[in-house]
Amino acid sequence: MKKENKSTTKVNVLVGSKQTELDNRSQLLKLMQTSPIPDSEVLMNLGLFLKRQDLSRILFMNELYQKQVGVHGSIFEFGVRWGQNLALFETMRGIYEPYNYNRKIVGFDTFEGFPSVDKKDGVNPIIKKGSYDVVKGYENYLSQILQCLENENPIAHIKTTHLVKGDASKSIKTYLKEHPETIISMAYFDFDIYTPTKECLLAIKPHLTKGSVIGFDELNFQAFPGETIAVQEVLGLSSYKSQRSPFGVLQSYIVFE
């Protein structure tokens, strides 16, 4: 991956923080970048730089992971972006079920932002083609990170994490055709928008089992109505209990029973 000047790299994302919060985060980032901690101890002290919001999200993902440990199958994430959730899931696999090499962790993303938008996605200015993009070639960098994390877990010679690049509305159908054995123990939806959320829900529905956990990043969120509309059309909001965790404000999940 070509090295980018991170300070000038521009990506289109929704920002809902006050300027004082942004200033404080800039200061925290500067402190991280100028840390006097020896390189040999940096990774074991990342908690120094975890904000409340970031730790809350990690705890939420941990809660979701635990809920599906007893369910046979693979973990799918729809909307990978920088890949933190995939990295967390692989690390949690090493904690909760280190010898379960059958648990694939598969991430779907264009790695180029929204491929398109629908009128059901609303009118927020952030909802446009290309929003939530990443730097060019980022998926190659992410693959290296995921491999390093796999190397820390037992049976590392059997690869468990996989990235699928492309419009997931299409690539999910190809993947499931090539892997008809697939059972999904957990799926996490972070597309934000209507079309890929609906198409992927339709595609994975026959591969769910009792106990499968389906997580959502933006249900009941005014800025991104498309995700809720897609869930309503495919699953029906009255058919499942929409559950939340004290660790998440927007995040929620349902369990197939």
Query: pLDDT for 53-69, tens place per residue?
Result: 999 999 999 999 999 99
* Three-state secondary structure string covering 210-221: EEEEEEECCCCC
pTM of the model: 0.92
pLDDT of residue 5: 55
pLDDT at 61 (0 to 100): 97
Per-residue pLDDT band for 17 (boundaries 50, 70, 90) equals confident
Side-chain half-sphere CA neighbours of 23 within 13 A: 3
Instruction: State the Cα–Cα distance between residues 223 and 104, nearest whole angstrom.
Output: 32
- Are 176 and 210 a contacting pair, CB within 8 Å? no
pLDDT at 119 over 90: yes
Question: pLDDT tens-digit profile of 68-114?
Answer: 999 999 999 999 999 999 999 999 999 999 999 999 999 999 999 99
- Provide the pLDDT for residue 26: 95
Q: Residue 206 has what pLDDT?
A: 97
Q: What letter represents residue 7's amino acid?
A: S
> Would you say 240 and 228 are in contact if contact means Cβ atoms under 8 Å apart?
no
Q: What's the pLDDT at 164?
A: 98
Which pLDDT band, with edges at 50, 70 and 90, does 9 fall under? low
For residues 90 and 161, the answer to whether their CB atoms sit within 8 Å is yes
Per-residue pLDDT at 33: 96
Mean pLDDT to the nearest integer, 240-253 = 93
The arithmetic mean of pLDDT across residues 4-21, rounded, is 68
Please check the confidence at residue 38 and state whether its pLDDT lies above 80.
yes
111-149 residues labelled b (16+ CB within 10 A) or e (exposed) = bbbbbebeebbbeeebbeeebbbbeeebbeebeebbeeb
Domains of the chain: 52-255 (3.40.50.150)
- Reported as a pLDDT band with limits 50, 70 and 90, residue 209 is very high
Give the amino acid at 220.
N
Size of the chain, expressed as the number of residues it contains: 257
Rounded to an integer, the average pLDDT of 249-257 is: 93
223 neighbors 121 (Cβ within 8 angstroms)? no
Which helix (DSSP H) or strand (DSSP E) does residue 208 occupy? strand 208-216
Specify the DSSP class assigned to residue 128. S
Q: Work out the percent of the chain whose per-residue pLDDT is above 70.
A: 94
DSSP states of 46-100 as a string?
A: GGGG--HHHHHHHHHHHHHHHHHTTS-SEEEEE--TT-HHHHHHHHHHHHH-TT-
> In the Cβ-directed half-sphere of 197, how many Cα atoms lie within 13 Å?
30
- What average pLDDT does this structure show over 137-164? 97
pLDDT, one tens digit per residue, over 177-200 is: 999 999 999 999 999 999 999 999
Tell me the pLDDT band of 10, cut-offs 50, 70 and 90.
Answer: low
Residue % of the chain over a pLDDT of 90 = 91
Question: How high is the pLDDT of residue 6?
Answer: 59
Please give the backbone phi and psi of residue 212, each rounded to the nearest 5 degrees, phi first: -60, 140
